[in-house]
């Protein structure tokens, strides 16, 4: 597949590429970050051991496992992007992340299916990590392939900006959930409402 020189890409096309890569990356990392900000709630629902600290550590261990799958996703989707194109590959990573996030939302808790709940949660988080690694690497490559040769670093910087914006947005979304809980029912250190 031959493409015109990156210096011939029009400003309108470059703007579309920046917006597409930024939005796609933002959505991926927003989904990824929500898990971390809801860790105390997830710990209570999926790791009810009677020890809140141990449950929280298990929840963050699952969070860490997802990060371990990022390099694998970057390698897999990077090679796939070279073969079938970056746009199609980035669309696949977004669909994978959306599907995994939906499955986490629908996943029965420990009370409903026992030890299968944390196992399934771990597997789905691995899929999220795999997807996030593919999105990040693919979005960087997609942007830099379209950027003028003397400004590749500048245009490539939009990817980490969208990543950190997603984490900030996830924190902002989390705050009203915390405030919704009446003060007397808020468990100090647990981060969740108790009925």
Task: For each of the domains in the chain, give its residue range(s) and CATH number, in order of start.
Answer: 9-174 (1.20.1250.20)
CA distance 109 to 111: 5
User: Nearest-5° angle of CA 129, CA 130, CA 134?
Assistant: 110
CA distance 7 to 150: 9
**What is the pLDDT, as a whole number, of residue 32?**
82
Question: Averaged over 86-103, what is the pLDDT?
Answer: 92
**What is the pLDDT, as a whole number, of residue 8?**
73
**What is the pLDDT, as a whole number, of residue 124?**
95
**What is the pLDDT, as a whole number, of residue 189?**
37
Residue 171 · residue 29 · CB < 8 Å:
no
Question: Averaged over 142-153, what is the pLDDT?
Answer: 89
Distance from chain centroid for Cα 176:
21
Residue 141 · residue 21 · CB < 8 Å:
no
Q: Where are the beta strands (DSSP E) in 117-162?
A: none
The count of other CB atoms within 10 Å of the CB of residue 194 is 10
> Which structure tokens are listed for 51?
């020890």
Instruction: Say what the pTM is.
Output: 0.79
Residue 6 clears pLDDT 80, i.e. is over it? no
3-class SS string, 13-52:
HHHHHHHHHHHHHHHHHHHHHHHHHCHHHHHHHHCCCCCH
Would residue 114 be called left, alpha or beta, if left means φ above 0 and alpha means ψ between -120 and 50 degrees?
left
CA distance 38 to 32: 11
Dump pLDDT digits (tens) for 19-60: 988 998 898 889 888 888 888 889 989 998 788 889 999 999
CA distance 77 to 97: 13
3-state secondary structure of 186: strand
């Amino acid at each position: 597949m031959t493409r015109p020189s990156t210096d011939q890409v029009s400003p309108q096309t470059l703007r579309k590429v920046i917006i597409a890569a930024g939005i796609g990356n933002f959505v991926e990392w927003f989904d990824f970050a929500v898990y971390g900000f809801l860790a105390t709630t997830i710990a209570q629902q999926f790791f009810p051991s009677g020890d809140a600290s141990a449950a929280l550590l298990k929840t963050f261990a699952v969070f860490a496992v997802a990060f371990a799958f990022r390099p694998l996703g970057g390698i897999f989707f990077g090679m796939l992007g070279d073969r079938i194109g970056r746009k199609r590959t980035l669309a696949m990573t977004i669909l994978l992340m959306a599907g995994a996030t939906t499955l986490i939302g629908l996943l029965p808790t420990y009370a409903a299916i026992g030890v299968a709940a944390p196992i399934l949660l771990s597997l789905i988080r691995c899929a999220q990590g795999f997807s996030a690694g593919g999105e990040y690497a693919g979005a960087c490559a997609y942007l830099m392939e379209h950027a003028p040769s003397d400004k590749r670093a500048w245009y490539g910087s939009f990817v980490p900006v969208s990543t950190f914006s997603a984490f900030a947005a996830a924190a902002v979304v989390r705050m009203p959930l915390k405030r919704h809980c009446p003060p007397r029912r808020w468990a100090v250190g647990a981060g969740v409402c108790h009925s």
